Structure 1
């Protein structure tokens, strides 16, 4: 078991380093997140083989929801929020709530799918790992931004 854990971790680190050598910022962050989650969950090779296709599909759908649909809503709000009628605001709000509901349903589906692959304990650890990763990423971003100001 320890050997498969080390192999999986090495694979993720190589993947992360490859991501830094080429690709977009999103790819780099994804590679780092993959390594972080694999380490935090201590996924076995068998778990990782089943876990990552499910998780990656979830991430892709979540990205689509947040960045494609919400981007269009944000453009509409930025364009003329003060000139927006009450009816237009009601429609926009309804669309935004719909995206939030889709996001919630997507998260529920992820948990249901993962229950067949990893333990509930690891699913809870996944939630914490995601939060920790996002917090660390934001912290690094802020530190890099503040160091460039001076």
Structure 2
């Protein structure tokens, strides 16, 4: 759960930092971050060419689906809550909270399926290294963002 919050925060920070920039610049930044992440994870996991060929399609599909779920569902819930949270009835707030919990459960099930799929591609030690590498990459990216913000 902590990882999901960190990734959500990271995505939020990335979108805020690049939101005011033109669309092509935003796409360029996202691609740059993705390339850095691929290089970082590949290096940290020390993937063989065979592992890499099987791993990256699984990982990219997982990331895409995770992003899609967050974009479609969580953003809608948060926008609804942000705009009228004080005006929501208790019943509506409970419904919204249940929908958010359902989405979080969907993300959790997606992660479980991803890990199950990875077990046929990577040894358990590399799957654990993946989790660590993702967290380290997020920390480094967040630190770079903070450093850049301080310099402005």
**Short-chain TM bin:** 0.7 to 0.9
Matched, 1:29 2:23: no
> Following superposition of structure 1 onto structure 2, how do residues 79-94 of structure 1 map, counting pairs within 5 Å?
79-94=83-98
Matched, 1:40 2:81: no
**Gap runs ≥5 in structure 2:** 1-24
Higher relative contact order (CA 8 A, sep 6+): 2
Distance 1:145 1:65 in 2: 29
Counterpart in 2 of 1:14? none
Matched, 1:117 2:121: yes
Aligned counterpart in structure 2 of residue 147 of structure 1, from 140, 148, 151:
151
Q: CA 1:113/1:79 → structure 2, altered by over 3 Å: closer, same or farther?
A: same
Counterpart in 2 of 1:4? none
Deviations 1:64-109 (A, max 9, x none): 1122211111110111110110111011000100111011111111
Counterpart in 2 of 1:11? none
**Gap runs ≥5 in structure 1:** 1-20
TM-score (norm 2): 0.81
> Following superposition of structure 1 onto structure 2, how do residues 1-150 of structure 1 map, counting pairs within 5 Å?
23-148=27-152
Aligned residue pairs total 128
Distance 1:131 1:122 in 2: 14
- Cα root mean square deviation, aligned: 1.5
TM-score (norm 1): 0.82
Q: How far has the Cα of 1:24 moved from its partner?
A: 3.1
Distance 1:31 1:24 in 2: 10
